[in-house]
A and B are shown apart, each in its own frame.
Chain A
Amino acid sequence: MNPAHVDTSGIERLCDQWENGPGSAGERTREFCRLFPSELAKVRRQGYRQLGLLPVPIGGSSHRGLKQGFYMTRLRDGTLGYLQRRTDDCLQAALASALQIPANLVPDLGMEAKMAGGMDPELMERGIRAKMDPFLHKHGVKVRYHATPPTSSRRWIGVVREEDVYSDHCLLMSGPDCLFDPANLLPSAASSYDVSEVDYGITLND
């Protein structure tokens, strides 16, 4: 496939608007965060087969998954890795990948929109628990946090801390290796994370 056939001009325009567009810097940044996912979805949709992406069937319909921007990719261990749709949904994608539950069935926490709307962080946290706890209970998932990365676990979620609040990132780990980074824009953009960068780990039913 010729890269020229994949139109990335929407993303280029968006980046330009963010840097040089009208409005305050903060407003432009929020707008960038709001619009980036749909522009990324357009790029993925143009050549998903050639790009190694599979749409996640929703209600048995791959077309619906495609329309909603849910993609997965086959990982080297034969399981499926679910990619992030937005900039704020790494936990949803990492849980889906770790549990092998389609990403559309994992609660969408919608954090960026809540923060942009000025929601009180305490209220947001309570809302997240109210969504996540029933989901984990329904699937019989027991969550354990590990201050030291649990590199003897076959499958776990590694969390990389970032200096900004709410910017930490989840990776799917297998033993000491990063098996999948849900934030990859495309499967070819292989994660360059190393276990030494993981600050703590989460195991599920382990």
Chain B
Amino acid sequence: MAAYGSKQETQRGMSVEIDGKRVPLSAEGLERARGENKEVGKKIAGAVRSAVERATGEA
């Protein structure tokens, strides 16, 4: 894939939405999010729990 020559163009992301903003679950994204939001870890755990509740509620 030609664009792989540029290091910014290789994608990998998974993200979780917290307070209406997506937090990439990459090391860099998490570090930045932690700098902006002290409780981001707790909110990630909450987002996973909410996804389970939505999934099981719909099942």
Contacts and interface: CB of A to CB of B under 8 A. Distances in A.
Interface stretch (A57-65, A96-104, A161-169, A172-180): A161-169
B28 to A, nearest CB: 4
Contact of A168 (B11, B16, B27, B42): B11
Interface residues of B, number: 45
A32 B48 CA distance: 14
Nearest to A122: B7
A-B pairs, top 4 by smallest CB distance, nearest first, are: A169-B13, A188-B55, A19-B41, A164-B28
B27 A3 contact: no
B13 A11 contact: no
Interface centre among A43, A51, A159, A167 (most CB of B within 10 A): A167
Interface in A119-158: 121-122, 124-125, 128-129, 132-133, 136, 143, 145
Interface of A: 1-3, 5-6, 8, 11-12, 14-16, 18-19, 25-26, 29-30, 32-33, 36, 40, 43, 47, 50-52, 84, 86-91, 94, 109, 111-112, 115-116, 121-122, 124-125, 128-129, 132-133, 136, 143, 145, 159-160, 162-170, 183-189, 192
Contacts of A132: 1, 4
Contacts of B57: 3, 188
B1 to A, nearest CB: 5
Interface of B is mostly: helix
Contact of A167 (B5, B29, B49, B58): B29
Contacts of A112: 12, 26-27
A19 B7 CA distance: 30
B31 A29 contact: yes
Given A8-B49, A50-B56, A189-B54, A165 B27 contact: no
A90 B41 contact: no
